[in-house]
Amino acid sequence: MNNFIGQSVPLLAEDTTTSEEDEELYPKSSKLSPAAAADDSPIVLKRQLGLGSCIALIVGSVIGSGIFISPKGILQEVPDVSLSLMLWVICGVANTLGALCYGELGTTYSKSGGDYVYLLESFGPMVGFLRIWTSLIAVRSGSIMVVLLTASVYIVKPLVSHCQEVPDIVISLITLISMYCLFYLNCVSVKWTSRLQQFLTLAKVLGLIIILVPGIFLFIQGNRDNFSNGIESHIEITKLPLALYSGMYAYSGWQCLPQMTEEIKRPHRTIPVAIIISMVIITSLYLLVNVSYFTVLSVDDILNSEAVALTYWQSAFNKMSWIIALTVSASCIGSANASILSTSRMYFVSSREGQLPSFFSMIQVNCKTPIPAILLMVPFCLLCLTSSSVYSLINYLSFTKWLFLGLSASTILYNRWKHPEWNRPFKVPLLVPITFVLFCLFLVTLSLYSAPIECGIGLGLMLSGIPVYLISRRQCIGKQSYITTWLQKLVLIVQQEKCTYID
């Protein structure tokens, strides 16, 4: 796409220095603002995310509340230990295939924006805009608030264990505080946001390891009574897909990394390596945690539990339940932080492509962060916090996630046919995207079959973006306005001064 809003000048190298190879491909711009010229640092989103930061971003985004919720969701459909563990393996393999697809796409396209860019440049601007629209109105903003609400509950309960029920106003207030802290940090510094993400990811991984240790220890000692039965013959085959859908929820979030391609050091190497390492960590942890659950708890224990991890820990130790609270809180806050960091770049790129007002593609002069794109999510998050139907809204639009993921993976097949000459530093076998696309098609079809009314409402919400897209095109949404100029002066934001991608 060539409708780049603002100055279109060359690529920024890692931090403020350029290698000889980068300098040859992307020479320095000679037109810098006075602020940039003063410190010889052009106003762009810097390449400052290394391999560790990228792994923390993926692991932190995926491991949220799912591992504490989905075990019960799967058993409600298939109350069998062996089959449940098989489904966890299948979900892990399916999501790894999808992540590998995004590894190829993330190294083929040099733009940030992730699947928005892949859909935009392969299937046209309307499809790309619908991806932005569904993300903005519910999918990402709603998910951020849901995990922050979960974190707030686990933060408060250990402090007021004597209370029968925590007032909703307290939960909402803590959620609001944590939300503003995360948005503030994302606006102020990418480096410190990344450091927070690494800390939270390390905390949640260590927490999960601590949680699974007693279960694995008992399993090694021979406490395997809950694993002794084979697959139940009375299980309804028609419920297997619904259980699969619940497991896939726990693995979602790996698509966040390519949304920040222009800020990753050596993306051609870092993106695929980070994806592979992250998916191995996530799948291994999920399997070990579930084995630990089943070692200590029976199927009925899990089905009757409101908080599986807490019930498991109380059965194993009956003390130090604050470890569970800290682990769940770190998981949820880390997932929200990763969503804000990555999703804001998708809005930044969509504005740069002319599909959102040009104001949202601007960068703060001092912080070098896309503050307008980050703050764009705040009003939608607040609406989700005050809305009692946020869970319903997310459920309505959940099937669109797999629809867009499948469409994004299909762009590999499309581009292999249309652009065989493209450079693909990381290339997956064609069987990988084909399998993942078929899997996503299966999930979408399943959703339409099992919940036609909810999917119909979700489809209507998604298609409501079409008139918004048509109106925005007529109004020339990318044009500079007086309000935009005034906001630029107020917040000290400008368009990026170097093009950080190859068009």
Asked if residue 314 has pLDDT above 90, the reply is no
Mean pLDDT of the chain: 83
Q: Once rounded to an integer, what is the mean pLDDT over residues 165-172?
A: 80
Confidence of residue 258 (pLDDT cuts 50, 70, 90): very high
* Cα–Cα dist 276/266, whole Å: 16
- Supply the pLDDT for residue 13: 35
* Residue 237: predicted pLDDT: 66
Query: Does residue 263 register a pLDDT over 80?
Result: yes
Q: Is the pLDDT of residue 412 over 90?
A: yes
pLDDT at 373: 94
d(CA 99, CA 115): 12
pLDDT at 234: 62
Quick one: average pLDDT of 407-413?
A: 95
For residue 244, pLDDT beyond 90: no
> What does R_g of the chain's alpha carbons equal in angstroms?
23
Report yes or no: 118 and 408 within 8 Å, Cβ to Cβ: yes
Q: Which residue has the higher pLDDT, 386 or 28?
A: 386
Residue 1 lies in a domain: no
What is the tens place of the pLDDT at every residue in 431-440?
999 999 999 9
Phi, psi for residue 307 in degrees, rounded to 5: -140, 95
Of 19, 40, 430, 502, nearest to 261 by C-alpha is: 502
Cβ atoms of 396 and 458 within 8 Å: the answer is yes
pLDDT number for residue 111 = 93
Q: Bigger pLDDT: 139 or 429?
A: 429
Whether the pLDDT of residue 246 is over 50: the answer is: yes
Percent residues over pLDDT 90 in the chain: 44
Is residue 172 one of the residues assigned to a domain?
yes
* Residue 105, pLDDT above cutoff 70: yes
pLDDT given for residue 304 in this prediction: 85
What pLDDT was estimated at residue 235?
64
State the CATH number of the domain containing residue 416.
1.20.1740.10
For residues 364-385, give the mean pLDDT: 90
pLDDT at 230 over 70: no
**pLDDT at site 393:** 65
Q: Evaluate whether residue 339 is within a structural domain.
A: yes
In this prediction, residue 334 carries a pLDDT of 93
Q: Check whether 478 has a pLDDT greater than 60.
A: no
pLDDT at residue 140 above 80? yes
Q: How far apart are CA 291 and CA 83, in angstroms?
A: 12
Residue range 15-21: mean pLDDT, rounded: 39
Residues 6+ apart with CB under 8 A from 418: none
Residue 13 domain flag: no
Report yes or no on 500 lying in a domain: no
288, part of any domain? yes
Please indicate, yes or no, if residue 4 is contained in any of the structural domains. no
Asked whether residue 501 is assigned to any structural domain, the reply reads: no
The pLDDT of residue 241: 73
Helices (H), 221-321: 240-251, 267-296, 299-303, 308-316
pLDDT at 167: 77
Span of 115-129, 175-189, 215-229, 459-473 with lowest mean pLDDT:
215-229
pLDDT of residue 224: 82
Structural domain for 167, as ranges: 20-495
- Please state, in angstroms and rounded to a whole number, the distance separating the CA atoms of residues 88 and 65: 16
Please state the domain count of the chain: 1
pLDDT bin (cut points 50, 70, 90) of residue 19 is: very low
- Identify which of 472, 185, 140 has the alpha carbon closest to the alpha carbon of residue 339: 140
The predicted model scores a pTM of 0.86
Query: What is the model's pLDDT at position 20?
Result: 39
Closest CA to 134 of 410, 489, 403, 432: 403
Quote the pLDDT of residue 473. 75
How distant, in Å, are the alpha carbons of 71, 161, 254, 258, 427 from that of 405?
24, 42, 11, 13, 18
Report the pLDDT value the prediction gives residue 283, as an integer from 0 to 100.
Answer: 93
**DSSP per-residue string spanning 405-431:** HHHHHHHHHHHHHH-TTS--SS---TH
